[in-house]
C-alpha cells in the first residue's frame, strides 16, 4: 500500500505550473482524502514582495542572502506562499471535505530534493500544522534542471528526510 496516490493529470499540472513560472519557483498544495490526492491548488509565490523574507522562517543567513538579491533573483531560489491564497485554499478544502496531503514547489535550477532551507522550515512548521488544524503534509519537489522534469516526494520530520512511496495512476 503506497503512502500517497497521485493522479497522473495532477502531476502533469504541477509540471505545467513549474514550467509556466520558470526560472522562478512555483508553489502549491495538493488535497485529498486518506492519502489519495484529488485536487491541486496553485498558491502565489510572493518572495519578491517587500519584507516577505523577514517573516517566513528563513534563517538569518538565508534572509540576509535574499536581501542582497533583486526581487526577481529571490524568486529563482526561494518561495514564500501568499497566505491569502493559502486561506482561500484551506477554506475550499474544508467546504469540500478534503484534507491537505502535500505541499509542492519547484526547483528550476536544482535537483528534486529538499534544500537545507526547505528542511529547516518544514521542521519549524511541524508544530504549526496542528495549531491551524491541518495534518502534517508530504513535500513534493519538481526539478526542471534537466530536459525531463524530475518529481520526488518526501516526509520531513524532526529534520529527517525520508522518501514517500507514491503510486501514480
Partner 1 sequence: MIKVRIPTPLRPLTKGQGEVETKAGSVVEMIEALNSTHPGIKDRLCDETGELRRFVNIYVNEEDIRFLKGKDTSLKDGDEVSIVPAIAGG
Check binding of 72 to partner 1 (CB under 8 A). Answer: no
Number of CB atoms found within 10 A of residue 24's CB:
20
How far apart are CB 33 and partner 1 at their closest, in Å?
21
Binding mask 5-44 toward partner 1 (x if CB under 8 A, else -) reads ----------------------x-----------------
CA distance 26 to 107: 8
For partner 1, the binding residue among 37, 47, 98, 102 (CB under 8 A) is: 47
Q: Assess contact for 139 and 102: CB atoms under 8 A.
A: yes
How far apart are CB 129 and partner 1 at their closest, in Å?
10
How far apart are CB 1 and partner 1 at their closest, in Å?
28
Helix (H) or strand (E) holding 88, with range, is helix 83-96
Write out the three cell numbers for 36: 489519495
Check binding of 155 to partner 1 (CB under 8 A). Answer: no
For partner 1, the binding residue among 16, 33, 91, 157 (CB under 8 A) is: 91
Distances in whole angstroms, Cα of residue 111 to Cα of each of 22, 94, 152: 14, 33, 9
Identify which of 45, 46, 12, 11 has the alpha carbon closest to the alpha carbon of residue 28: 45
Q: Assess contact for 84 and 52: CB atoms under 8 A.
A: no
How far apart are CB 102 and partner 1 at their closest, in Å?
12
Residues in contact with partner 1 by the rule CB under 8 A = 27, 46-47, 49, 51-52, 54-58, 62, 77-84, 86-87, 90-91, 103, 105, 114-118, 121-122, 124-125, 128, 131-133
Amino acid at each position: 500500500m503506497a503512502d500517497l496516490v497521485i493522479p497522473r493529470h495532477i502531476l502533469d499540472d504541477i509540471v505545467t505550473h513549474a514550467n509556466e513560472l520558470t526560472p522562478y519557483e512555483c508553489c502549491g498544495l495538493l488535497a485529498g482524502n486518506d492519502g489519495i490526492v484529488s485536487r491541486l491548488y496553485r498558491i502565489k509565490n510572493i518572495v519578491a514582495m517587500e519584507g516577505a523574507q523577514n517573516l517566513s522562517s528563513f534563517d538569518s543567513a538565508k534572509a540576509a542572502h535574499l536581501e542582497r538579491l533583486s526581487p526577481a533573483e529571490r524568486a529563482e531560489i526561494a518561495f514564500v506562499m501568499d497566505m491569502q491564497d493559502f486561506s482561500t485554499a484551506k477554506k475550499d478544502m474544508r467546504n469540500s471535505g478534503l484534507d491537505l496531503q502535500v505541499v509542492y514547489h519547484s526547483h528550476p535550477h536544482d535537483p528534486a530534493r529538499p534544500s537545507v532551507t526547505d528542511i529547516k522550515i518544514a521542521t519549524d512548521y511541524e508544530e504549526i500544522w496542528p495549531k491551524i488544524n491541518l495534518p502534517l503534509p508530504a513535500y513534493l519537489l519538481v526539478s526542471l534542471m534537466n530536459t525531463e522534469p524530475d518529481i520526488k516526494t518526501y516526509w520531513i520530520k524532526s529534520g529527517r528526510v525520508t522518501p514517500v512511496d507514491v503510486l501514480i495512476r
